[in-house]
């Protein structure tokens, strides 16, 4: 793929197939679980972590070798076995059905790539090199993880609440937009890190004061 179209996809209750039960498959399943997908795993054996998810009822498992019908009615298909022949067959079957398919470590057999993800509450940062350099993807992911700390979880929670607070109290669109821009100032991010128990009240007070001021 010369270029890709980045997007965030809601996988809630979407049926997804993961072929394979090893460490790589475990990582892929973890990401799908975080997206609330409905997951079917097909593999003769699975890791302890996958087994734990199965026992907890979080995923479905068919013990055995991959069969074409496993992919029926699946939104996403992931091939993560250590057998290139099986992976290629999974790819061919998914392509025939017009499905989204990702074959681990085989960019030519993918019509979507799974980026490296940094999550901070409602903030999701995705990094991809389209398979050109997974090492660089991981490196940038670590840099972003250090740059965007847990304070962003609190900030976005408060910001979402304050956005509604402003919308309910400020009829003038220009003034609303000005407040929204000022609300994402670095000082408020810092306050979420240094004064987490007080920042919400401080922001409400600041907004109330700003509402009274002319543009």
**What is the Cα–Cα distance from 137 to 132, expressed in whole angstroms?**
9
Domain borders along the chain are 1-114, 151-212
Give pTM, 2 decimals: 0.81
Rounded (5°) CA angle 43-93-126: 75
Domain 1-114 has CATH 1.10.340.30: no
Q: How far is CA 76 from the centre of its chain?
A: 15
Mean pLDDT rounded to a whole number for the chain: 94
The string of pLDDT tens digits covering residues 84-117 is: 999 999 999 999 999 999 999 898 899 998 888 9
Residues 182, 207 contacting (CB under 8 angstroms): no
Place of tokens 């996809």: 9
The string of pLDDT tens digits covering residues 155-190 is: 999 999 999 999 999 999 999 999 999 999 999 999
């Amino acid at each position: 793929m010369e270029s890709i179209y980045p997007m965030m996809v809601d996988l809630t209750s979407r049926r997804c197939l993961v072929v394979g039960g090893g460490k790589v498959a475990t990582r892929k399943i973890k990401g799908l679980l975080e997206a609330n997908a409905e997951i079917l795993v097909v593999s003769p054996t699975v890791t302890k972590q996958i087994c734990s998810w199965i026992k907890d009822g979080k995923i479905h498992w068919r013990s055995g070798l991959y069969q074409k019908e496993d992919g029926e009615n699946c939104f996403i298909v992931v091939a993560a076995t250590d057998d290139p022949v099986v992976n290629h067959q999974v790819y061919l079957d998914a392509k025939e059905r017009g499905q989204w398919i990702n074959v681990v470590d085989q960019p030519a057999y993918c019509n979507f790539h799974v980026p490296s993800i940094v999550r901070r509450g409602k903030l999701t940062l995705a990094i991809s090199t389209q398979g050109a350099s997974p090492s660089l993807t991981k490196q940038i992911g670590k840099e972003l993880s250090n740059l965007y700390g847990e304070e962003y979880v609190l900030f976005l929670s408060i910001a979402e609440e304050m956005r509604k607070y402003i919308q309910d109290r400020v009829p003038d669109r220009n003034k609303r937009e000005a407040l929204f821009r000022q609300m994402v100032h670095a000082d408020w991010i810092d306050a979420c890190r240094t004064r987490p128990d007080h920042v919400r009240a401080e922001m409400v007070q600041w907004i109330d004061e700003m509402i009274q001021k002319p543009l």
